[in-house]
Amino acid sequence: MASSKLTLVDEPHLPQAMGFRWFDNEGVATQRRFVVENGILKTYYIDTYNAGKMNVQPTISGESVLTFHLGNKDLEGLVGDLKKGILVTGFNGGNSNPSTGDFSFGIEGFLIENGKLIKPVSEMNITGNMLGLWERLVAVGSDARETSSWRTPSLVFDDVVFSGS
């Protein structure tokens, strides 16, 4: 379902992490579990109601502390490796279709050329499909945000469609 660079683990027992919990909101015990491993989907979040309807065991009702397996370069190192690209620093609205995965978002950030931030960009759009986007993940940073229950690092995607000035 994604690039082999993507490994995403639910780590509900990380001490002092936002999202830390021993049980979900239905009383189901949490455990460390791979959600995506090397690009392969490993589990779903299935609450007790839906598990009963599907005649399967529940996992938990939703994510706890999602962590990426990290790469070995921070944002500066990832930017330094790029010949040409866009560093997205913010999103300015947009939409996505959860049925098809298609998305379009306004972005702001910086133009990258030869490993350097050249100039700011704004009023640009990024468009595509979520499944296609995750297949084009080429690098994962070492700089995950630890102040969120989604510990997301800098990510580099290849062949992404941007439009605007």
What pLDDT digit, counting tens, does each position of 76-124 carry? 999 999 999 999 999 999 999 999 999 999 999 999 999 999 999 998 9
pTM recorded for the entire structure? 0.89
Q: What's the CA gap between 60 and 44, in Å, rounded?
A: 9
**pLDDT score of 165 more than 90:** no
Cβ neighbours of 70 (radius 10 Å)? 16
> In whole numbers, what is the pLDDT of the chain averaged over residues?
95
Return the beta strands (E) in 62-145 as ranges. Answer: 66-68, 84-96, 102-113, 116-129, 137-140
* Percent of the chain whose predicted confidence (pLDDT) is above 70: 99
Pairing of strands 150-151, 66-68: parallel
pLDDT tens for each residue of 28-62: 999 999 999 999 999 999 999 999 999 999 999 99
Between 119 and 1, the more confident residue is 119
pLDDT tens for each residue of 69-88: 999 999 999 999 999 999 99
From the centroid of its chain, how far is CA 100?
18
pLDDT value of position 164: 79
Q: What's the CA gap between 63 and 30, in Å, rounded?
A: 10
Q: What's the CA gap between 84 and 103, in Å, rounded?
A: 23
pLDDT grade, residue 1 (50/70/90)? confident
Residue with tokens 């996992």: 59
Render the burial of 102-118: b for 16+ CB within 10 Å, e for the rest: ebebebbbbbbeeeeee
pLDDT value of position 24: 95
From the centroid of its chain, how far is CA 45?
16
Q: Any idea where the domains of the chain sit in the sequence? A: 1-69, 75-140+155-164
